[in-house]
Amino acid sequence: MELSLDHVSLTVSDVDRSVEFYSKAFGFRRTRRSSSDGPKLETILGYKDAKIEVAWVALDGVNVEFIQYRQPLSEHRAVLHTKDVGTPHLAFRVRDIHEECARLRELGARFKSEPVEVVKGAQYSVYGMDPDGITFELVQRDRPPV
């Protein structure tokens, strides 16, 4: 079988806000922006009269698609729990996790805790949330993973 990862997709409440946050927070660059509707989209998504806004960003060869539903309207959950099946997170490797947490807080990110030393002297990790409550992880590795 021949296959490769094409992209990761996240449903968001405002594609432009998400592009701005992920660009400033993690260095993604916007590659595309479009609107879509019609019978083919309805068939793919499984929603009658579906209308969406889409923005694409890229970083290190990974493409992320942000989708904002115009119809049917999205149901915004107050909290997306990482324990719930199907809840995604993106993980970012950083050099100084404490410095990055401070910088990301200024951009509106929230964190579940302060960074935790996972492997003594070798790895720190922390979960944060973007403005929609979508989880991301910061990982600082002082030596390569085993």
Torsion, CA 18, CA 40, CA 70, CA 10, rounded to 10: -30
Q: Which residue do the tokens 């970083």 mark?
A: 59
pLDDT at 145 over 60: no
Question: Which one has a higher pLDDT value, 4 or 26?
Answer: 26
Q: Does 127 score more than 60 pLDDT?
A: yes
pLDDT at 41: 93
Average pLDDT over the chain, rounded to whole?
91
Q: Where are the alpha helices (DSSP H) in 27-128?
A: 39-45, 97-106
Enter the pTM of the model: 0.85
- The proportion of the chain whose per-residue pLDDT surpasses 90, expressed as a percent, equals 75
CA torsion through residues 9, 94, 124, 108, sign: negative
Q: Are strands 8-11 and 62-71 parallel, antiparallel or unpaired?
A: parallel
pLDDT of residue 144 exceeding 60: no
Q: Summarize pLDDT for 55-85 with one digit per residue, the tens.
A: 999 999 999 999 999 999 877 666 677 877 7
Q: How confident is the model at residue 14 (pLDDT cuts 50, 70, 90)?
A: very high
Asked whether residue 117 carries a pLDDT value surpassing 70, the answer given is yes
- The partner residues of 32 in beta bridges, in order of sequence, read 56
At 4 the pLDDT is 77
Whether the Cβ atoms of residue 21 and residue 66 lie closer than 8 Å to each other = no
Report the share of the chain in percent with pLDDT over 70. Answer: 94
In order of their start, the domains of the chain are: 8-71 (3.10.180.10), 89-141 (3.10.180.10)
